[in-house]
Structure 1
Amino acid sequence: MFRRTLLGTAAVALGLSLAGAAFAQDKLKVGFIYVGPVGDGGWTYQHDQGRLAVEAEFGDKVETVFQENVPEGADAERVLTQMALGGADIIFTTSFGYMDQTNAVAAKFPDVKFEHATGFKREHPNVSTYDARFYEGRAVMGTIAGHMTKSGKIGYIGSFPIPEVIQGINSSFIHAKKINPDVTISVVWAYTWFDPAKEADAAKALIEQGVDVILQHTDSTAPLAEAAKTPGVIGFGQASDMTEYKPSPRVSAIIDNWAPYYIKRVGALLDGTYEQSAAWEGIAGGEVEIGEITDAVPAEVKAAAEKMRDDIAAGTYHPFTGPINKQDGSVWLADGVVAQDGELAGMNFYVEGITGDIPQ
């Protein structure tokens, strides 16, 4: 009798264990690959906030995993492979330089969904891409910059010379020049997404050139920290609000809000409506947000920037509307002509008025 009870208890325990395992397997496993640390205060931090939003939205229906500080290149393929082998159902690869590795691993795991941020290659049916129209936010920042610069010199810290970054440089300059026709822009290429020391050096070099407004397409708060050392120099939060530098030098920010996209895509996989896609949302879609414009900015400048934001959101204004010439003076967009997405996605030139060459 005693032995039978033990066997019965063991059977029940085994049944519960198997049921628990089945329940665990029913969870959707969602993976994220990050180029920087989750505490960078910028790009990676915002993607991780999106991951946390997925957990909050779906609760015990999902399990999320992530790997931070993954270099772009061969290491990314190794990490992606490990994550797929670990049972991930969908993996978000959150940096441009993961593009080829994402597609290579996707070919080996056709049942896993891969989503690549800021890229354009969808070589397999299980690969989707998503991006944000950061150039829209740059138009707003450029408007503020054009009003606020006293030296007429604006600086820009670029990460890598890819279309996404070049779009931002051009948009910032175009809109600063609309306000101040004599404005110039100097670009320093950091060749990194996240390296506080290099970013600080870039900001310092720009300030030594007389720049009093700094924009950045790198991920750390180091440029703002450097700007804070020189009275009169202002900057902007990049990807995240970077509130610790309010009200100045951080006078506003471009904020990347990935949460709605991540919730939408994970939700589609859960309910069976998931399809391959290529998303490119901006201010109107809520993926690009303009952070608080602080009181360090005059009221009339704030109003002009907010109007720019609202016009873009309403679809009544596009930041790349002609007349716009290329750097060599040739016509790119005639008067009133709006750039097509394909042209922007392949942008590899500066607009007229920017000096210097784009590295190859």
Structure 2
Amino acid sequence: MKFTKLLTGAALALGLAGTAIAEEKTKVGFVFVGPVGDGGWTYEHNQGRLAIEKEFGDKVETVYVESVAEGPDSERVMTQMALKGADLIFTTSFGYMDPTINVAKKFPNVKFEHATGYKTAPNVSTYSARFYEGRAVQGHIAGKMTKSNVIGYIGSVPIPEVIRGINSAYIHAKKVNPDVEFKIVWVFEWFNPAKEADAAKVLIEQGADVILQHTDSTAPLAAAEEAGNVIGFGQASDMAEYKDGPRVSSIIDNWSPYYIDRTRAVMDGTWESVQTWDGIGPGMVGIGEITDKVPADVKEEALALKDAIASGEHHPFTGPINKQDGSVWLKEGETADDGTLLGMNFYVEGIEGDIPQ
């Protein structure tokens, strides 16, 4: 009898242990630079987090911390996530690059994915989207639709990613409207609705009737709506609440497929350090609905440009293109290599003003 009870107890213990192992969840953490309700950059990253939960159900647990300043504070947040058992941590802003590398060294068994950076390690991958492809489409629409020939651009932080976007938009606006000029205001933050609104108002006062932005809130669209007769574009997210007003299209960052794939790789043990930079073709960059404010022929041209970029038929940086100082950058028919694009620190010819240091 005792022997039977022992066997039963052992079987029960093994069964409980087996259940515990079976129910062990993969824990995925996210470090966000803005609030999840920003309507732009962080909103779309959080959509990716929710997509992981939907895909894997009770096999995963996701956690996040929002509005984390770039720098030492982010390192503290990442460390706490790792200490609390995160298996995979997505760090979603350029300024998290060195903190990610630092924390990854301390937690070699945790996998890290850093958005928009370039430093990797055995347990650190990088990923980004070719936003400049979407900027080309926006530039085309902007160049065709401006009546004042002044296009305003709100820059966030003067890093290559943002400079690429300005150049791409300008090149494609200038192609269809030789008289166009860009006015650029830098706010030196990714998300600051008050500063973004002020920048939009300054640009509108300077004659801009089209506003482009590489900042994360809907404040520039709100300023455009208030001004009237000014159009703008959704940034990072569709910002569709303004599509009956100034928003004529958008760049949409679609992180969900990547987040699902990388989480699956951790779960099945196939994760390895990679560098991913995808655009319109693979679907990481989407072009939001082009509204009826855009004339039918311009819409048709913009969609044709989108398709040409997606297929590889058109590269947004195809020569002849000179640098701002007039020196030749790309000869006729030459296309920019990824190395130059990733380190871009110059304006193309025709853009006025200096890049802040």
**Interval of TM-score (by shorter of Structure 1 and Structure 2):** over 0.9
The answer to whether the 8 A contact 2:115-2:127 is kept is yes
The answer to whether the 8 A contact 2:71-2:96 is kept is yes
Task: Spell out the pairing of 1:220-259 with structure 2 (5 A cutoff).
Answer: 220-259=217-256
What SS does the aligned partner of 2:36 have?
coil
What SS does the aligned partner of 1:29 have?
strand
What SS does the aligned partner of 2:235 have?
strand
Q: Which residue among 329, 335, 338 is the counterpart of 1:338?
A: 335
**Equivalent AA in structure 2 for residue 231 of structure 1:** G
User: 1:70 is matched with which residue?
Assistant: 68
**Equivalent AA in structure 2 for residue 118 of structure 1:** T
- Separation in 2 of the partners of 1:180 and 1:90? 47
TM-score, normalized by length of structure 1? 0.95
Task: Spell out the pairing of 1:285-304 with structure 2 (5 A cutoff).
Answer: 285-304=282-301
User: 2:307 is matched with which residue?
Assistant: 310
Q: Which residue among 113, 116, 138 is the counterpart of 1:115?
A: 113
Task: Spell out the pairing of 1:11-160 with structure 2 (5 A cutoff).
Answer: 21-25=20-24, 27-122=25-120, 124-160=121-157
Q: Does 1:171 align with 2:171?
A: no
Q: Which residue among 178, 182, 187 is the counterpart of 2:179?
A: 182
* 1:116-163 CA-partner distances (Å, limit 9, x unpaired): 0000011x2101000000000000000000000000000000000000
- Separation in 1 of the partners of 2:12 and 2:64? 32
Q: CA deviation at 1:247?
A: 2.9
What SS does the aligned partner of 2:62 have?
strand
Instruction: Work out the percentage of aligned pairs sharing the same amino acid.
Output: 70
User: 1:274 is matched with which residue?
Assistant: 271
Bigger shift: 171-180 or 263-272? 263-272
- Separation in 2 of the partners of 1:114 and 1:175? 36
The answer to whether the 8 A contact 1:129-1:277 is kept is yes
- Separation in 2 of the partners of 1:51 and 1:343? 32
Q: CA deviation at 1:325?
A: 0.2
Instruction: Tell me the number of residue pairs that the alignment of Structure 1 and Structure 2 aligns.
Output: 354
Q: CA deviation at 1:248?
A: 2.8
Bigger shift: 177-186 or 262-271? 262-271
- Separation in 1 of the partners of 2:258 and 2:10? 44
Q: CA deviation at 1:21?
A: 4.4
- Separation in 2 of the partners of 1:193 and 1:275? 30
**Equivalent AA in structure 1 for residue 216 of structure 2:** D
What SS does the aligned partner of 2:42 have?
helix
- Separation in 1 of the partners of 2:227 and 2:76? 44
Structure 1: where are the runs of 5+ without partners? Answer: none
The answer to whether the 8 A contact 1:248-1:296 is kept is no
Q: 1:159 to 1:11 in 2, by over 3 A?
A: same
The answer to whether the 8 A contact 2:23-2:59 is kept is no
The answer to whether the 8 A contact 2:147-2:209 is kept is yes
* 1:263-310 CA-partner distances (Å, limit 9, x unpaired): 111111222221110000000010000000000000001001001100
- Separation in 1 of the partners of 2:115 and 2:27? 19
Q: Does 1:206 align with 2:234?
A: no
* 1:31-75 CA-partner distances (Å, limit 9, x unpaired): 110000000000000000001111111112211111111100000
Task: Spell out the pairing of 1:3-18 with structure 2 (5 A cutoff).
Answer: none
TM-score, normalized by length of structure 2? 0.95
* 1:214-252 CA-partner distances (Å, limit 9, x unpaired): 000000000000000122100000001001111330000
**Equivalent AA in structure 2 for residue 328 of structure 1:** D
**Equivalent AA in structure 1 for residue 32 of structure 2:** Y
What SS does the aligned partner of 1:228 have?
helix
- Separation in 2 of the partners of 1:271 and 1:355? 51
Q: 1:108 to 1:359 in 2, by over 3 A?
A: same
What SS does the aligned partner of 1:229 have?
helix
